Amino acid sequence: MSKYETVIGLEVHAQLLTKTKLFCACSAKFGDPPNSNICPVCTGQAGALPVLNKTAVEMAIKTGLALNCEIREKSIFARKNYFYPDLPKGYQISQYEKPLCVNGKLDHVPIVRIHMEEDAGKLLHDTGDPAVSHVDLNRCGTPLIEIVSGPDLHSPEEAADYMRKLRNILVYLEVCDGNMQEGSLRCDANVSIRPAGSKKLGTRTEIKNVNSFKFIENALAYEIQRQTAVVEAGGKVIQETRLWNQQKGTTEAMRSKEEAHDYRYFPDPDLLPLVVDRVWVEKIKGTLPELAGEKALRFAKQYNIPEYDAGVLTAQKELAYYFEECVRHHPSPKKISNWIMAELLRELKVRDQDITEIKMKPEQLARMVALIEQGTISGAAGKGVFMAMLDTGKDPEAIIQAKGLEQVSDTGAIETVIDKIIAKEAENVKRYQSGKKNVLGFFVGEVMKAMKGKANPKMVNEILRKKLG
């Protein structure tokens, strides 16, 4: 056991999937030309005022409910004051003292709070002229929720796992697209170490820019090792904000506690307290989709598949949907699950593809499984069909026809071939009849070879046994 215990808490920012911004009617779309989705409100023109987007509140409440939070009846938007060119008003509107959701839980990890806030714009420095910087305010005012976990994660792996589960829930709820690369899901990590067994929290550092599951693990592992080295050398960890540098694989000091801003929070007088009545919360509760955990339980029960398989199939919403679509077209859940678990997931990994990106439609996979069951093709031939479907998105029937993979289940045809082989292989027939039953495999192989793999293996086996006596 290590001398030190690690304590990690994550602050996760998720951009809500609303059509419009948090306080104005501008589009919240990502990737439009710079400064094309702006108005007097989100550019902080003199005299402009914010009006809260109700859909954003609904999405935040949804998240709170899914994470078992209390939804506060009255929450307050505050102004967080600081100057920066990507912040037009000179303050960010953010919930501070009274957030919308509190006291939740994701598995064993406490969720301290979920609050709503607006995003800032984006500075563009590399535009040709080194003396000039530009600012794109498209992102300015897009709605975010910040989900703050308790300091109850104890290893980088556990932190990454929490983050994966959280992402999964947000995507399931359709409140966030979960895209960490584009920044719609971002993570800051607070980390400290303390002597094993101690209850007192050590001095923490906050690591910014850990925007992938890999970064989270790498950055935390590095930071724990750094803090351990500092303490081991008799030093003290300094409370500061550090930036993860993925290229160097290190965290770098950004600013110390002393340099931290005094944000001078106070309730935004432009916005009334956000009042959420019980009826509204209950109504939203009624719209909550089935989450991964519940879905896994249902899959195991309804489709009679192992719990492990159910867990894997529901880990991603789109994968679960894919599976259920297949089963809807051909109710053979166990076989379909096997194909997805063994073949499809492996190929996705090899091809570095997401389930949403593949050409093969669920009904095509379902039909292929049905064709194997009906004996139209062999399982072995099925693998080829499967790969061809992934490559081309063509129907299984078309692929089977083009490749001539249709299985021969005509007794007469199979008997003719078997008779020929038995006549040729008198030696092996004798060996079989003298008790060497494993020679059967040789005969099956010869038949399949002669029939170019298209013979129905079950029938080949049966007829051979009968004829060999």
Using CA atoms, how far apart are residues 101 and 60, in angstroms rounded to an integer?
8
Q: Least Å distance between CB 11 and another protein? A: 20
Q: What is the DSSP string of 56-83?
A: HHHHHHHHHHHTTPEEPSEE-EEEEE--
Q: Least Å distance between CB 298 and another protein? A: 42
Using CA atoms, how far apart are residues 215 and 162, in angstroms rounded to an integer?
14
Using CA atoms, how far apart are residues 362 and 226, in angstroms rounded to an integer?
48
Q: Phi/psi at 448 (nearest 5 deg)?
A: -60, -40
CA atoms within 13 A of residue 351's CA, in its CB half-sphere: 16
236 or 257: CB nearest another protein = 257
Residue 195's DSSP bridge partners are 4
266 or 280: CB nearest another protein = 266
* DSSP designation for 339: I
264 or 420: CB nearest another protein = 264
Q: Least Å distance between CB 62 and another protein? A: 23
Question: Which stretches of the chain bind another protein, using CB under 8 A?
Answer: 40, 43-52, 79, 81, 83, 85, 88-91, 135, 262, 264-266, 268-272
Q: Least Å distance between CB 150 and another protein? A: 24
54 or 420: CB nearest another protein = 54
25 or 253: CB nearest another protein = 25
Using CA atoms, how far apart are residues 227 and 235, in angstroms rounded to an integer?
9
Both structure tokens of 212: 């992938």
Q: Least Å distance between CB 287 and another protein? A: 25
131 or 423: CB nearest another protein = 131
Angle 411-424/426-433 helices, nearest 10 degrees? 100
Q: Least Å distance between CB 39 and another protein? A: 8
268 or 324: CB nearest another protein = 268
Q: Least Å distance between CB 79 and another protein? A: 5
User: Residue 118's CB: how many other CB atoms inside 10 A?
Assistant: 26
Question: In angstroms, what CA-CA distances link 53 with 20, 88, 369, 437?
Answer: 8, 19, 47, 76
Both structure tokens of 436: 């060497």
